[in-house]
A and B are shown apart, each in its own frame.
Chain A
Amino acid sequence: MINFQYLRTTTAKSAIALLVKDKNAKFLAGGTNLIDLMKRGVTAPEKLIDINHVPLKQIEQIGNKIHIGALASNSAVADSALIKEKLPLLSWALQAGASAQLRNVATVGGNMMQRTRCSYFYDTEMPCNKRQPGTGCGAMEGFNRMHAIFGASEKCIAVHPSDMCVALTALDAEVVVANAKGERKIPFKDFHRLAGDTPQLDNNLKADEMIIRLEIPMNNLAKNYHYLKVRDRASYAFALVSVAAAFELSNNKITDIRLAMGGVAHKPWRLTASENFLKGKEATLSNFEEAAQLAMKDAKGFGGNDFKLKLAPNTIIEGLNLAKSKV
């Protein structure tokens, strides 16, 4: 690791000012992904701007929205009484990620900004279009058991590793970002990108912008919900496939439904077609099965991850089952 410069600031404004001054500067929040990547030589910023003292840790209800500051820790959000009551799906998704130690430090903004865990991205001796555009995709014909089945490009089949983001996609969150001129809002589903021709870009945050907070609309999804994460060991592992499922039942009919998957695409994968199918229908196993098949319409395996073509719909069905059985 190079001996970078370390700066600390206490306002978003000065943080942004410091960031734009230097092309090789990066924000440092929890550091749980960034420092890891720096140790592996995947990234080598010359300047780190420690933003941990910027007061963006709020978790509060404002009007009919929940606001979560970009620097709120994953555990603070997961354990917040407000989140547990109003957005339990988010709390569950957060608890499914990483470990208690990492969640204590990792921030909401950092979680959104985390890079893929693709082995080829991490090993600087291997080809990777995301790490070094033009070198090729090592995973395409290599080890791709963990990789994308949806929306993959010819350049990159990596997946976004977050659990939290899967829930946020399902919950129609908005991301408030700021640059020196002011704030703008990005719908969460548009925050992350597909790899396309620019796999080096994970998201649509601009180089001069900082994530300020999330705004999540209130909903009636706190009763029938589940976050199901399938992984190679019982905890502390990235998802093979995960499903965020939540719906509102009225007279046994589904009136509102959210479905999103993790571990299957370069971004959290919202299952709009399945949602549309289930809306207005009864919460039955056969409907769940049909919805799961709809979700798989454009899925494509790359060999090592072919099993996900079966695992993914199964996980959707089981996620919906578990959401339904919640009392």
Chain B
Amino acid sequence: MKSSDQKPNQGDSRRDFLKKSSVITAIALTPSVAVKAAESNADERFAQLFEKIPLELTVNNKVYQTTVEPRVTLLDYLREELHLTGTKKGCDHGQCGACTVHVDGQRVNSCLSLAVMNEGKKITTIEGLANGETLHPMQAAFIKHDGFQCGYCTPGQIMSAVACVREGHTGSRAEISEYMSGNICRCGAYPNIVDAIIEVKEGGEKV
């Protein structure tokens, strides 16, 4: 565990602010007319004030400041709000890995993470992996080894594969396969995916 991971990553003022944006606090601070409007669903705009909370999220080195309902997952937030649709929804229950992104450098299933839980964290999606016009070595290796067919699980596979190399879980084909088993590929490109990962690992480029 890196020590930096253990520190709370926001100052007190941010935390206080977030607490205040809970519904109870918000209602207490809101004119009664607005509360009434919200309760009767008379005005959608008022209702939204209560249900959404502010969120600042860094995705692919870009800072996004929006408001969001707490129930919105990171996956749906990326796809529907930021239109970063490279991250895929395959099961929505943490059972397939198609939604894999990096949060502070670690691979996670974005479908089981609420967007609001990621405040202040650095998110990297498939769209942020290449360096400008130059493909990331893993992307290039996936093309070379045909590590996909329909392409739908591919962004998740690649994000997971990059993390797999960074974590050092590439000691053997068997180890790679085990550590890539959280990413289902229904087209069955697994052996090619393992080949791609071995190539990147042996290439020794920084990933």
User: Is there direct touching of A and B in the complex, by C-beta distance under 8 Å?
Assistant: yes
A residues bordering B, Cβ < 8 Å?
1-10, 28, 30-32, 35-36, 38-40, 47-48, 50, 52-53, 55, 57-59, 72-73, 75-76, 79-80, 98-102, 104-105, 234-236
Contacts of A53 in B (CB 8 A): 8-10, 15
Does B5 touch A at the CB level, under 8 Å?
yes
Q: What are the interface flags for B100-126 relative to A under an 8 Å C-beta threshold, 1 for contact and 0 otherwise?
A: 100000111100111011010000000
Does B73 touch A at the CB level, under 8 Å?
yes
From known contacts A5-B22, A7-B19, A7-B22, infer whether A102 and B92 are also in contact, taking CB-CB under 8 Å.
Answer: no
| Complex: A237 Cα to B73 Cα, angstroms | 24
Q: Is the pair A31, B113 in contact by a Cβ cutoff of 8 Å?
A: yes
Contacts of B67 in A (CB 8 A): none
Does B69 touch A at the CB level, under 8 Å?
yes
Q: Is the pair A5, B117 in contact by a Cβ cutoff of 8 Å?
A: no
Q: Is the pair A100, B164 in contact by a Cβ cutoff of 8 Å?
A: yes
Which of B71, B160, B164, B177 has a CB less than 8 Å from the CB of A2?
Answer: B71
| Complex: A9 Cα to B51 Cα, angstroms | 19
Contacts of B69 in A (CB 8 A): 3
B residues bordering A, Cβ < 8 Å?
1, 5-10, 15, 18-19, 22-24, 51, 53, 69-71, 73, 92-94, 97, 100, 106-109, 112-114, 116-117, 119, 160, 163-164, 167, 169, 177-179, 181-184
Contacts of A36 in B (CB 8 A): 93-94, 112
CB distance from A16 to the nearest CB of B (A): 16
CB distance from A300 to the nearest CB of B (A): 30
Q: Is the pair A39, B182 in contact by a Cβ cutoff of 8 Å?
A: no
| Complex: A39 Cα to B53 Cα, angstroms | 20
Q: A6-B116, A236-B182 are in contact. List 8 more A-B contacts (CB 8 A).
A: A1-B71, A6-B70, A7-B22, A10-B8, A32-B94, A39-B93, A102-B182, A234-B181
From known contacts A3-B71, A72-B1, A80-B1, infer whether A32 and B117 are also in contact, taking CB-CB under 8 Å.
Answer: no
Contacts of B163 in A (CB 8 A): 100
Q: Is the pair A235, B108 in contact by a Cβ cutoff of 8 Å?
A: no
Q: Is the pair A52, B70 in contact by a Cβ cutoff of 8 Å?
A: no
Q: Is the pair B109, A101 in contact by a Cβ cutoff of 8 Å?
A: yes
Which of B15, B24, B116, B181 has a CB less than 8 Å from the CB of A99?
Answer: B181
| Complex: A234 Cα to B174 Cα, angstroms | 11
Q: Is the pair B112, A35 in contact by a Cβ cutoff of 8 Å?
A: yes
Contacts of A57 in B (CB 8 A): 1, 5-6
